[in-house]
A = this chain, B = another copy of it.
Amino acid sequence: MVEKVNLKDKILISYGTGGKYTQEFINNYVLKHFKSKILSELLDSAVLNFEMDSKIAFTTDSYTVSPIFFPGGDIGKLSICGTINDLLCVGAIPKYISVSLIIEEGLEFEVIDKILSSIEEVANEENVEIVTGDTKVVEKGSCDKVFITTAGIGVVNKNICLHYNRISPGDVVIISGNIAEHGLAVLLSRGGFGFDCKIQSDCSSLKPMLEQLFNKEISSHIKFMRDPTRGGISAVLNEVVHKRKDVSIEIEEELVPLSGSVKNLCELLSFDPLNIANEGKVVIIVDKNFAEETVKVLRQHPLGKNARIIGEVTTENKGRVILKTTYGTKRIVDMPIAEELPRIC
């Protein structure tokens, strides 16, 4: 029998070393957030049942965002939304998530509790199950507060067939809403700019919006989906033309949805909003005959209310992404060399 151990209000090294304190920490602080029968078994691995004439999607990401709390979210919300979105972007419905924490000794329990509550909230809303995890604690100064690595498993929707090879000239590029909010929200929350500008991160799960899309016949005409996180829209579209050097992508600056405050801030700081991270948007490339209907479905959900066609696949500047500016000129949108903002996710 485990005697009750008094846990201080800060994380101690011993909470990660596998003994009684670790057990108490897991039982009293972690499991209360995640009411999974599978997780509560606390086995080395979760054992899962699938209806198995389907393909499985598998993803992972580490989150090191600084600060860990920012307008519109925190590292916990980010870590689960990011993994959910990565699964959706290969056409899969997310099912099971793992959460692995690396915590700095001395971090307040309250902080961990808030972060786990954020994960819990998204998991409940999005109907995904946290089924396995791990906790490590490192000495003060050996990590910056907390890093979270999530992995996820989803079941690929049978209607959907995403592949670079399916992209053809004439296909249309859609973005599901206003861009560049996450990166700027995190940057501003670091302070030191001497001006007052409130931008909320768009951090959210794309599941309710994309599930609606996946359930429609038109989803079979989608050829590519990607959530434009680090490196922004520029990185995503450049990845397409690097894979498919026989096409180019042309987008129109005027069509790219952007809030007024994001536009102003980017002008002030000389940032290109195309390079800035989003955490609740999706870029979709779809057959032009189904583009309007795709936008319509996206707009039915609040997350997609600003969804727009922003450009198309062409053959004019093969291997390049081209931006038609508001002045009517054209410029190359290159892969960002080093994004302006480290540790935004």
Q: Name A residues whose Cβ lies closer than 8 Å to a Cβ of B.
A: 1-2, 5, 12-14, 16-23, 42-64, 66, 85-87, 89-90, 92, 96, 98-102, 131-134, 136-139, 141-144, 147, 149, 151-154, 156, 226-227, 229-232, 235, 238-239, 242, 245, 275, 277, 319-320, 334-339, 341-345
* Copies of the polypeptide in the assembly: 2
From B5, B149, B335, give the contact of A2 (CB < 8 A): B335
A141 proximity list for chain B (CB < 8 A): 141
- Contact assessment for A134 and B60 in the assembled complex, using a CB-CB cutoff below 8 Å: yes
- Contact assessment for B58 and A19 in the assembled complex, using a CB-CB cutoff below 8 Å: no
Q: How far is the CB of A104 from chain B (nearest CB, A)?
A: 10
- Contact assessment for A102 and B18 in the assembled complex, using a CB-CB cutoff below 8 Å: no
A343 proximity list for chain B (CB < 8 A): 136, 138-139, 142
A319 proximity list for chain B (CB < 8 A): 1
Q: How far is the CB of A331 from chain B (nearest CB, A)?
A: 16
Give the complex CA separation of A55 and B14 in angstroms: 34
Give the complex CA separation of A141 and B104 in angstroms: 12
- Contact assessment for B98 and A58 in the assembled complex, using a CB-CB cutoff below 8 Å: yes
- Contact assessment for A338 and B60 in the assembled complex, using a CB-CB cutoff below 8 Å: no
From B47, B54, B60, give the contact of A133 (CB < 8 A): B60
